[in-house]
Amino acid sequence: MFPNEAAIEAALAALRRQRDALDRQIADHALYLELGRRLGAGAAPSPVAAEPRPPVDSEARPGEDIAAARRHGRALVAAALDLLHEAGRPLHAGEILPGLTARGFDLPGHDPVAALNTRLWKRSGPGGPLRRLGDAVYAPSEEDPA
């Protein structure tokens, strides 16, 4: 016997929620991996290594400071929100990137659009400033006062 339409729709909705949860976990881990690499902790410490790490230079570069990285991320999302408001329509991450670059933001890596998509995706959850409408397509959330 085949399930009815309501049961199939409920099962699809549950699977989509699971996929969204997995996609968020993947995005989180990709972000952590990127941050770890940017902060110079890309390689996992050897379990046998007993030597202490050399002291960090007191003159830290902006990419190595966690607080600065968080501020940069918040500023990047705020600038993306400004671009979305200016456009007055949803935009793909590939359309947002040139505007961010023009405002002085730099997204390192082999695929800056993918890096931007990961950052925006992470902030598009419930209570976040963004709403994800499709693959790398974003709009301001309904809760956004602007």
Predicted confidence (pLDDT) per residue in 65-115, tens digit: 788 778 888 899 999 999 999 999 999 999 999 999 999 888 878 899 999
> How far, rounded to the nearest angstrom, does the alpha carbon of residue 89 sit from its chain's CA centroid?
20
Number of domains in the chain: 1
Lowest mean pLDDT among 7-21, 30-44, 129-143: 30-44
Q: Identify the three-state secondary structure at position 91.
A: strand
Residue 137 main-chain phi, psi, to 5 deg: -110, 125
Residue 93 domain boundaries: 5-41+63-140
Residue 51 lies inside a defined structural domain of this protein: no
Helix (H, G, I), strand (E, B) or coil at 116: helix
Give the ranges where the chain is alpha helix by DSSP (H).
Answer: 5-38, 66-87, 93-102, 112-122
Helix (H) or strand (E) holding 49: none
Q: Which residues fall within 8 angstroms of residue 118, CB to CB, at 6 or more apart? A: 27, 30, 31, 34
Phi, psi dihedrals of residue 41, rounded to the nearest 5°: -110, 35
Give the pLDDT confidence of 40-53 residue by residue, as tens digits: 744 444 444 444 43
* Domain membership flag for residue 108: yes
Is residue 30 situated within a structural domain? yes
Residues 6+ positions from 33 with CB-CB distance below 8 Å = none
Residue 49 is assigned to a structural domain of this protein? no
Task: Report the predicted TM-score, pTM, of the whole model to 2 decimal places.
Answer: 0.54
Residue 58 lies inside a defined structural domain of this protein: no
In a domain, 46, yes or no: no
- 56 part of a folded domain: no
DSSP single-letter state for residue 132: E
